[in-house]
Amino acid sequence: MSAVSSRPSASRRPGARTGLPWWALTLAVVSFVALLVVMTAPPQAHAASASQSLAPVLAFLARLVGIGG
């Protein structure tokens, strides 16, 4: 005994999307390039302390949402 579905399948609908959105490929490429840059960074580079690197990011986010002046 088979069940009857009332909704058409995705392959039969007109205008159904079968490919990836444009940003999916872009995100993958940007991530790959960022990891490649991190891996090929010069060996003499040193890590910044958390307080030095986090403060500008938090300040930017505060300005972005309108909290900071």
The pTM of the whole model exceeds 0.75? no
Please answer whether residues 35 and 29 qualify as being in contact, where contact means their C-beta atoms are separated by less than 8 angstroms: no
CA 17, 18, 20, 22 torsion-angle sign: negative
Which pLDDT does position 32 carry in this prediction? Answer: 92
pLDDT digits (tens, 9 = 90+) for 10-62: 556 666 667 888 888 899 999 998 888 888 766 766 666 655 667 788 888 88
Residue 2 has pLDDT above 70, yes or no: no
Which pLDDT does position 40 carry in this prediction? Answer: 78
Which pLDDT does position 65 carry in this prediction? Answer: 86
Three-class secondary structure assignment of the chain? CCCCCCCCCCCCCCCCCCCCCHHHHHHHHHHHHHHHHHHCCCCCCCCCCHHHHHHHHHHHHHHHHCCCC
